Structure 1
Amino acid sequence: MNKTLLLGASIALASLTGCNSTPTKDVSEQTVLDNYSDIAFAVYSDSLETAKALKSATDALVANPSEETLQNAKDAWKAARVPYQQSEVFRFGNSVVDDWEGDLNAWPLDEGLIDYVAASYNRNASNLEEGEEVDQSAIYSVITNNSLDIDNDGSVDTAEISASLIASLHELRGGEANVSRGYHAVEFLLWGQDLNGTNAGAGNRPFTDYVNGEACTNGTVKAAAEICVRRGQYLTTAMDMMIEDLESMVAEWNPEADANYRATLVTEGQTGIKKVLTGIGELAGGELAGERMRVALVANDPEDEHDCFSDNTHYSHYYDIKGIQNVYLGRYVRVNGDVVEGPSVNSLIASKNTDVAKKLEAQIETARIAVEGLVTSAESETNPQTFDQLIASGNKEGNKIVQDSINSLLLVTEVTEAAAKEIGITEL
């Protein structure tokens, strides 16, 4: 089956959440936190398994570069984003997740730190304050250079592509755009730069960028075979690091462990519930509506798009709001179709005020439908427009689709704050 159809089918399946506003007999802070943790464990376990499938696909690409193996790796990357994006609702309230997340999903990245870029590219040069110098890390290109002259002292030996090297370059000198690892680094290594601006089209890296031999390329330019070998080493190492990172988070939520984060959280009572609601409110308003949508819309800048190389942003945003809905209703549909379900924060709020619980449930669903409009636009058979096209200056209809999503998500945050007060949480 076509991967787009698979993703579309998963949206349809994940949308069937049902209504969970009626208080259940066994709902309590303890049981809600137990189920919340079960969902976290399932989501991170799914993220790990789909990352392993992605690694198998990238290994096949490196071993046998072709149009087919490159496309398979791209499809696997998109599939891996489905469960991972549903995990982001566990950020913000849970510091163990938020402190770790930057290694997996940091963005936007200065791709020139990793590999070749267009001659005109330097993201850091576009927003300089008067008198400020360009951060040259945006054009270091670890893959195409065996050494880097950082701060004019030639201190970094990059001859060997290793996990320690990649980790040392991540957020180099405190620069948040100096991203060297995680989903978006892998995305760039599979798609390459998207040079289409707000016009149609994603990155178009050729499979020959991985060919070990005379056919090796840097895009449209012939390159030494060593460069393609190094690119493959970088991709393989980045994937190994991603899997190790996900394994560590699966362990934090494992119900069989005695001394992990989960073991503490499920005993925290109202403090734990506050973390749940903080994750919902902050992801909806501050992160998704603010950092990921409004910033890009106001600037009309595809460089601020979340999945800017693959143009997969519509799905990443959709699965963020789906993750919010999962946690609020206490129900997650796993990648294999199994369902994890139990006492929910919705039911806990409904035990105090059914109307408020229903209002938040309805607002989350309204936001889900609004964000699904991004998917509908991107997958349209007559006039497909991805997120980077929707935010273009002068695209009034496209801007409205994005703005409607922003407005709905901001209301989720507002209603979440009101709902929290019903169970004695006065401030998130």
Structure 2
Amino acid sequence: MAGQYKLSEAKKKDMIRGLFTTFCCLALFGCSEPSTPDITSSKTSSAINKQSSDIGNRQIATLSTSLIDQMVKESNRLLTETSNAAAKLQSSIDKLTTQPSKESLQEAHQQWSLAHDTYISTRLLRQWLKSLNIIHPVLDVTLSSPELVHTNHNRIDQYPLIPGYLDKVQGYPLSGLIHSEIELTKDSLNQEHLLGDSAYVALGFHALEFMLFGESGNPRIVADFSIENTSKSQNQSAKRRAKYLKLLSKLLKQDIEAFSVSWNRLDGYYPAALATIPEEELRASLRQIAEVELEACRQIQMLIGKQAMHDTKSSIAARISLANRVIETLESTRQN
């Protein structure tokens, strides 16, 4: 079983040599990493439960009481915070779409920022799994047939995007999904997401970001969501924005919860997979990831305010805090 998750020594050395450059590029220039299928379908949900249960039943008894336990606890804490933040974001969007006002729009802005900052800090967890070649059979795969499947991360945080793919932009007042005749459903958004280009983003945090904030020089206003005192065409656009926002926030919350479930201590796929790898390999990989994360954050801190960045000061603080806690965990669980 261990061979399924353990890299060969040669491949591991190659990966570690290239890890710093790759990781810093990811940290500096975008969110894109591994992605998710449509976890709301009964077929996919059953697959997640079966795969997690199968590996969990075989391997959970071998879990270390030291490093793995501490990292799973940290992951559960972080992902619980992320799930709660996504739930609050969904509630704020429900309020905005039913009672559009400056206050409800501002609240949605704040909740988006809080939820996204919390999610960004989970990058370290995904990078650790990736460095160990741990691939969830459902959440970490991309398929084009028999059904279109995106990885969990790409559903949640694909970036950058082309704003005009979704809604009006300067010079093009009738562009995007909002002004199309495409039905706004779970399945249609899954089909439109990354259709032909990685910047054709229809799901996740950044689709929500554009719909809530608008674009630079053309910010979103309350009238974009209001159906009062507007023309028939404006009314229709506002209704589609409301429907799209509510669906986006619902799917985002479900995708985050799917990732969280896979870290569950008792039957999660990732803890069971980690238990098949020698602890010295886990330690070496985790320390490397944490140190690279700290260096990447230091580099980003020097660029914030000088150029457009995906990270914010608060998200960088969260990433640094997690990396430092990881290093402390490595020290506190070190075997004598």
Give the structure 1 partner of residue 220 of structure 2. 205
1:39: Cα distance to partner? 0.6
Distance (Å, rounded) in 2 between the aligned partners of 1:140 and 1:204: 16
Report the TM-score, using the length of structure 1 for normalisation: 0.54
Give the structure 2 partner of residue 49 of structure 1. 84
Distance (Å, rounded) in 2 between the aligned partners of 1:296 and 1:64: 35
Aligned residue for 2:262, secondary structure, equals helix
**Contact 1:29-1:273 at 8 Å conserved across structures:** no
Give the structure 1 partner of residue 102 of structure 2. 67
Distance (Å, rounded) in 2 between the aligned partners of 1:273 and 1:29: 12
Give the structure 1 partner of residue 71 of structure 2. 36
Give the structure 1 partner of residue 274 of structure 2. 265
User: Any residues of structure 2 matched to 1:171-182 within 5 Å, and which?
Assistant: 171-173=194-196, 175-182=197-204
**Contact 1:189-1:235 at 8 Å conserved across structures:** yes
Instruction: Tell me if 1:188 matches 2:210.
Output: yes
1:105: Cα distance to partner? 1.6
Instruction: Tell me if 1:237 matches 2:250.
Output: no
Amino acid in structure 2 at the alignment position of 1:167: N
| Structure of greater relative contact order (alpha carbons < 8 Å, 6+ residues apart) | 2
Shift in alpha-carbon separation, 1:296–1:110, aligned structure 2, 3 A: farther
Count matched residues. Answer: 256
Amino acid in structure 2 at the alignment position of 1:144: H
Give the structure 2 partner of residue 116 of structure 1. 168
Report percent identity of matched pairs.
Answer: 22
Shift in alpha-carbon separation, 1:109–1:296, aligned structure 2, 3 A: farther
Shift in alpha-carbon separation, 1:84–1:237, aligned structure 2, 3 A: same
List runs of 5+ in structure 1 lacking aligned partners. 1-27, 122-138, 147-157, 196-202, 217-221, 308-312, 330-343, 353-428
Can you list the C-alpha shifts for 1:115-159, whole angstroms capped at 9, x where unaligned? 1111289xxxxxxxxxxxxxxxxx95111121xxxxxxxxxxx1x
Amino acid in structure 1 at the alignment position of 2:214: G
Shift in alpha-carbon separation, 1:215–1:68, aligned structure 2, 3 A: farther
Shift in alpha-carbon separation, 1:169–1:275, aligned structure 2, 3 A: farther
Distance (Å, rounded) in 2 between the aligned partners of 1:239 and 1:251: 18
Amino acid in structure 1 at the alignment position of 2:331: N
Amino acid in structure 1 at the alignment position of 2:220: R
Q: CA RMSD in A?
A: 3.0
Distance (Å, rounded) in 2 between the aligned partners of 1:65 and 1:42: 33
Shift in alpha-carbon separation, 1:52–1:214, aligned structure 2, 3 A: same
Shift in alpha-carbon separation, 1:209–1:261, aligned structure 2, 3 A: same
Shift in alpha-carbon separation, 1:283–1:109, aligned structure 2, 3 A: farther
Give the structure 2 partner of residue 169 of structure 1. 192
Aligned residue for 1:181, secondary structure, equals coil
1:228: Cα distance to partner? 0.7
1:296: Cα distance to partner? 8.5
User: Which one of the candidate residues 300, 305, 310 is aligned to 1:306?
Assistant: 310
Give the structure 2 partner of residue 224 of structure 1. 234
Distance (Å, rounded) in 2 between the aligned partners of 1:170 and 1:322: 33
Instruction: Tell me if 1:87 matches 2:86.
Output: no
Give the structure 2 partner of residue 101 of structure 1. 153
Aligned residue for 1:92, secondary structure, equals helix
**Contact 1:266-1:272 at 8 Å conserved across structures:** no
Aligned residue for 1:224, secondary structure, equals helix
**Contact 2:112-2:209 at 8 Å conserved across structures:** yes
Amino acid in structure 2 at the alignment position of 1:261: Y
1:246: Cα distance to partner? 1.0
Greater shift in the superposed pair: 93-102 or 60-69 = 93-102
Instruction: Tell me if 1:328 matches 2:327.
Output: yes
Give the structure 2 partner of residue 16 of structure 1. none
Shift in alpha-carbon separation, 1:252–1:275, aligned structure 2, 3 A: farther
Can you list the C-alpha shifts for 1:83-131, whole angstroms capped at 9, x where unaligned? 322222112221348753222122121111111111289xxxxxxxxxx
1:316: Cα distance to partner? 2.1
List runs of 5+ in structure 2 lacking aligned partners. 1-62, 131-135, 141-150
Distance (Å, rounded) in 2 between the aligned partners of 1:327 and 1:215: 53
Shift in alpha-carbon separation, 1:296–1:168, aligned structure 2, 3 A: farther
**Contact 1:50-1:76 at 8 Å conserved across structures:** yes
Give the structure 2 partner of residue 131 of structure 1. none
Report the TM-score, using the length of structure 2 for normalisation: 0.67
Greater shift in the superposed pair: 223-232 or 78-87 = 78-87
